[in-house]
């Protein structure tokens, strides 16, 4: 459990005198103040970019060899991890087991707070064992304080099992940083509501996880330029997006893109190769397999 004598020294637990009269202020002034302090978060993330970049590079390298990306956290950080991981299958066409999150307290804790779960270090280590974490995996522990026992113990166990480990916190010189191979400390300072790290700290964590999942997927060939060419076209909006992408990539009209997509079960990469290269579905799939799924290579447009 975190030492109560030192918890109060954390920047994320501190009080900012600017917010001492929050309960007396009108809504417009409160909203303006929150908006002003939120503007400081991207700068804090920017200051940590060297650490973020090296961790993403190491993660992408392992994922290219077949490794998984796992987030682990408690409370708000755990929920942010679940949110980011859950968006990967529809956005990048990944299997659910490639990027996933482990939440202290289990799935029920997503909607029913189980704050005591964060103090259970052995449970964090057990969760890593249960997930069969191995040397190709990358595990990102997320804790605003950087001292959450569940997360620190999980990262220690993941590192012992040979995984790449990353500690993402919002304080300086944390236990989580010491436990992980890669330490990322995004110092956002005191919160608008003292200790409510779902605010600036949560925003910073979401920004960093956006980078991890998105850049890793780009490095794995899951995009063409800025286009999410591995998306699963499971609704009208996504089917329309798929049509626009094939039209743009293969330089064809809507009818041509739609016909190719229908013949390719709405797989954007396959349809694009079919149109651009004038081949059937089987030949397009063969080209993509040979290119390790990288559309630019399959189209012969690589530098």
Q: Looking at residues 259-265, what average pLDDT do you find?
A: 97
Gap between the Cα atoms of 51 and 211, Å rounded: 12
Q: What is the pLDDT of residue 3?
A: 55
> 298 near 275, Cβ under 8 Å?
no
260 and 209 in a common domain: no
> What is the value of pTM for the model shown?
0.90
Helix or strand or coil: residue 290?
helix
Q: Report if residue 290 sits inside a domain.
A: yes
184 and 68 in a common domain: yes
261 and 121 in a common domain: no
Which of 219, 247, 272 delimits the end of a domain?
A: 219
Give the count of domains, the chain: 2
Helix or strand or coil: residue 71?
strand
| Residue 122: CATH number of its domain | 3.40.50.10490
> 28 near 198, Cβ under 8 Å?
no
107 and 10 in a common domain: yes
Q: What is the pLDDT of residue 172?
A: 93
Q: Report if residue 24 sits inside a domain.
A: yes
Q: Which residue in 36, 61, 115, 118 is the catalytic one?
A: 118
Each residue of 96-129: pLDDT tens digit? 999 999 999 998 888 887 778 898 999 999 999 9
99 and 199 in a common domain: yes
Which of 188, 219, 250 delimits the end of a domain?
A: 219
152 and 34 in a common domain: yes
Q: Report if residue 133 sits inside a domain.
A: yes
250 and 215 in a common domain: no
Q: What is the pLDDT of residue 22?
A: 84
240 and 151 in a common domain: no
Q: Which residue in 87, 181, 187, 248 is the catalytic one?
A: 87
Q: Report if residue 303 sits inside a domain.
A: no
Give the H/E segment covering residue 166: strand 164-169
Q: Report if residue 228 sits inside a domain.
A: no
Edge to edge, the sheet with strand 99-103 lists 99-103, 69-73, 138-142, 164-169, 182-185
Average pLDDT score over the chain: 93
Each residue of 17-61: pLDDT tens digit? 888 888 889 999 999 999 999 999 999 999 999 999 999 999 999
Q: Report if residue 117 sits inside a domain.
A: yes
Helix or strand or coil: residue 161?
coil
User: What CA–CA distances, in Å, run from 38 to 112, 191, 205, 207?
Assistant: 27, 10, 13, 12
Q: What is the pLDDT of residue 220?
A: 94
The verdict on whether 115 is a catalytic residue reads no
User: What CA–CA distances, in Å, run from 282 to 228, 246, 247, 256?
Assistant: 22, 18, 20, 18
101 and 42 in a common domain: yes
Q: Report if residue 107 sits inside a domain.
A: yes
Each residue of 131-166: pLDDT tens digit? 999 999 999 999 999 999 999 999 999 999 999 999
- Residue 241: domain span: 236-298
| Residue 244: CATH number of its domain | 1.10.8.1080
The verdict on whether 262 is a catalytic residue reads no
């Amino acid at each position: 459990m975190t030492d109560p004598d030192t918890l109060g020294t954390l920047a994320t637990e501190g009080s900012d005198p600017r917010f001492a009269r929050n309960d007396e202020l009108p809504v417009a002034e409160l909203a303006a103040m929150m908006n002003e302090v939120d503007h400081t978060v991207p700068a804090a993330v920017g200051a940590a970019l060297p650490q973020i970049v090296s961790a993403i590079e190491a993660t992408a390298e392992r994922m290219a060899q077949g490794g998984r990306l796992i987030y682990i956290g408690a409370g708000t950080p755990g929920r942010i991890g679940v949110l980011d991981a859950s968006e990967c299958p529809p956005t990048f066409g990944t299997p659910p087991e490639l990027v996933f999150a482990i939440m202290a307290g289990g799935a029920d804790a997503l909607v029913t707070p189980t704050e005591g779960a964060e103090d259970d270090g052995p449970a964090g280590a057990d969760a890593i064992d249960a997930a069969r974490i191995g040397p190709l995996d990358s595990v990102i522990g997320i804790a605003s304080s950087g001292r959450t026992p569940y997360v620190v113990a999980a990262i220690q166990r993941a590192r012992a099992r040979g995984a790449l480990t990353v500690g993402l916190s919002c304080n300086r010189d944390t236990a989580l940083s010491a436990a992980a191979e890669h330490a990322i400390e995004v110092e956002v300072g005191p919160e608008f509501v003292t200790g409510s790290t779902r605010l600036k700290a949560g925003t910073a964590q979401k920004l960093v996880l956006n980078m991890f999942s998105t850049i890793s997927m780009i490095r794995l060939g899951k995009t063409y330029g800025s286009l999410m060419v591995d998306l699963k076209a499971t609704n009208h909006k996504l089917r329309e997006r798929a049509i626009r992408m094939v039209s743009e990539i293969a330089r064809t009209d809507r009818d041509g893109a739609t016909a190719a997509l229908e013949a390719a079960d709405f797989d954007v990469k396959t349809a694009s190769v079919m149109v651009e290269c004038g081949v059937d579905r089987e030949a397009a799939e063969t080209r993509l397999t040979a290119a390790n799924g990288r559309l630019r290579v399959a189209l012969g447009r690589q530098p």
